[in-house]
Each structure stands twice: as structure tokens, then as C-alpha cells.
Structure 1
Amino acid sequence: MSDPTNPNGGAFVREGGCRCGAVRLKISAPPLLTMACHCTGCQKMSSSAYSLSAAIPSPAFEVTKGEPVIGGLHGASKHYFCGHCMSWMFTRPEGIDFFVNLRPTMLDDPSWFAPYMETWTSEKLPWATTPAVRSFAALPPEDSYVGMT
């Protein structure tokens, strides 16, 4: 089966890093799911209308340079940033160990990324739009994740 996000064939490998380059990362598998989150927390952390996420299988995610630091609310879900430029790079959601929630704009070439779904549209700014094909007022029910790749 061909991978639409990897038109040249071969292994899916993407590299990226923070704005200053102090932290670098590599992914070696396509996302399980792509999304945009419109919640006010993501708006504040991203300084934007929404945050973008790519759920990368944990075994396919690697920090290759530097040491990211925990930032954000310092709560149960861990938000990782570059300690120097403070770029929000990825999140390890509480209780969900099988994926890492990568900010896809940290990749050197994020042009292939598009959000499949959007969440927390109940909090979205009225003018904010995405190309997502599925929308949810909050988080989708757990049973609706099946088939959302």
C-alpha cells in the first residue's frame, strides 16, 4: 500500500526541531490521526486561533538533540518546549502512552500535514476555519476514534 504523505515511496521518516534548533526530533511512522484543537487553552499556548497535532506512535518518535522542558500548565499531560526559544513542540497526554502529540509545524517540511478532525469548536474563534472533515464541539466520544485515520 502506498503512503499518500510519502509520494516518493520508501520509509516514512521526517525530521524537525524547535525554532532555534537546540532541540531536534525524528518521526519514523505516519500519524495515527491529525487534528486542530480550538480550545482556549490551545489558543493561549500557541498564541493562535488553534493548535495543530499529529498523533505519532510512541515507538516512532525520538528526540535526537537537546533536552525539551515541561511547560504549559505543568499538569497531568506533559507539554514539552525548547528550554531556549520556548517553542511548544509536543505533548504526552496523561494516561495515553501509545502516541506522542506532535506539533507538526516543528517538522522541517510540514507541507504534507492537514488536520483530519477539529475539536472544541464550541470555543473556536468565529473566523477560524480548517480543512478538517470531522468537527466536534468538545472531544469526540472514544468510540468515534475508530476509523479516523
Structure 2
Amino acid sequence: MPSLNLPAEGGCRCGRVRLRVTAPPLLTMACHCTGCQRMAASAYSLSAAIPSEAFVVTEGEPVIGGLHGASHHYFCPHCMSWMFTRPEGLDWFVNLRPTMLDDPGWFTPFVETWTSERLPFAATPAVHSYAALPAMEEYGALMAEFAQALAKEAFAAGGSAG
């Protein structure tokens, strides 16, 4: 999995809302739930959990859309691109739609969720798959394993004295 070049900049389709990421993701995911299918108008949604302190909107003001429920889904008010989500009670990260970044080529989902609702053709290369969501106590190990994979990739990209 290629690594995200930091700082990373991005924005919505029309460019009126721009953002910056200054730290690597804690975890990358694909969600197959029917809600994400409908909001993304796709087979699944992609997200990168970015530490909140490493995420900033630099231009424009996104608006809340989607279900207007406990988790807030943020969209560009002009082009309506679904940009990121702030899950209720989990203020320490932001679920960024990685395709909002100017260079999303680094992204690969590490975890896929709601495979019980997956469309038959929708395959991902995720390392871990869950019929619904992982148990809360599993996220620590998933993030640690993901961080190890990122570190291993960074080492390989830097070469080794062999």
C-alpha cells in the first residue's frame, strides 16, 4: 500500500471547499452498508480515519447532509460532494472520503464493513472483512496492525541497506 504524502491537500468537486491533512490515517476502510451505497451513489463508500488535530478545512464552509443524525456527514454546499464524516462520540478522528484529496492514489481499504449488505460484484482488497462493524474493542488492534503496515511500506519505499 503506497503512503500518503503529507501534508496532503484536497477539496470537493467544484473546489469551493478545500481541506488539509497533516498526519497519516489511523485506519482506512470501505463500507458496504446500503446507507453508504445511497449517499455515495456507488457500491460502497471509502474513508480514511484522520486524527482530528491533523484535519482542517482551509476554504469554504461544508454543510451537514445525509441523515442529519448522530454522525454528521459534511458536504460542499454548492456541488454537494460528500467530503467527510464526524462520528458522534468519536471526536478524536474524522472519516475523510479519500477521493477528496488531490492525490488519492495512495488509498487502499484495510478494513471493509457491512459485507452482509455488499453488492455481489463489489470486491475490495481489504485485509479484514466484517459482516457488520468490528467490536469497539477490536479497533485498537486494527489500528496497530494498520500502523505496522504503513511503517513497513515506508521502510520498503525508503530502501534498505542490504
Superposed pair shares fold, TM > 0.5: yes
| Equivalent residue number for residue 155 of structure 2 | none
| Equivalent residue number for residue 3 of structure 2 | 5
| Equivalent residue number for residue 132 of structure 2 | 138
Q: Does 2:88 match 1:94?
A: yes
Q: What's the offset of the Cα at 1:147?
A: 2.5
1:39 aligned partner, one-letter code: C
| Equivalent residue number for residue 62 of structure 2 | 68
Q: Secondary structure at the match of 1:29?
A: coil
**In structure 2, C-alpha distance between the alignment counterparts of 1:129 and 1:86, rounded to whole Å:** 27
Alignment of 1:98-109 (within 5 A): 98-109=92-103
1:133 aligned partner, one-letter code: V
Q: What's the offset of the Cα at 1:6?
A: 4.8
Structure 2-normalised TM-score? 0.85
Q: Does 2:32 match 1:38?
A: yes
| Equivalent residue number for residue 46 of structure 2 | 52
**In structure 2, C-alpha distance between the alignment counterparts of 1:35 and 1:83, rounded to whole Å:** 25
| Equivalent residue number for residue 118 of structure 1 | 112
Q: What percentage of aligned pairs have identical amino acids?
A: 74
* Residues 20 and 104 (structure 1), Cα distance of their counterparts in 2 relative to 1, 3 Å cut: same
Unmatched 5+ stretches in structure 2? 147-162
2:35 aligned partner, one-letter code: G
Q: Does 2:10 match 1:16?
A: yes
1:42 aligned partner, one-letter code: C
Q: Secondary structure at the match of 1:147?
A: helix
**In structure 1, C-alpha distance between the alignment counterparts of 2:4 and 2:106, rounded to whole Å:** 8
1:113 aligned partner, one-letter code: F
Aligned length: 142
Q: Deviations over 1:100-126 (max 9, x none)?
A: 000000000000010001000000001
Give the structure with the larger helix fraction: 2
Q: Secondary structure at the match of 1:5?
A: coil
**In structure 2, C-alpha distance between the alignment counterparts of 1:62 and 1:6, rounded to whole Å:** 16
**In structure 2, C-alpha distance between the alignment counterparts of 1:106 and 1:82, rounded to whole Å:** 11
**In structure 2, C-alpha distance between the alignment counterparts of 1:141 and 1:68, rounded to whole Å:** 30
Look at both structures and tell me which one has the larger radius of gyration over its CA atoms.
2
Q: What's the offset of the Cα at 1:144?
A: 1.3
Q: Deviations over 1:43-84 (max 9, x none)?
A: 000000000000000000000000000000001110000000
Q: Secondary structure at the match of 1:105?
A: helix
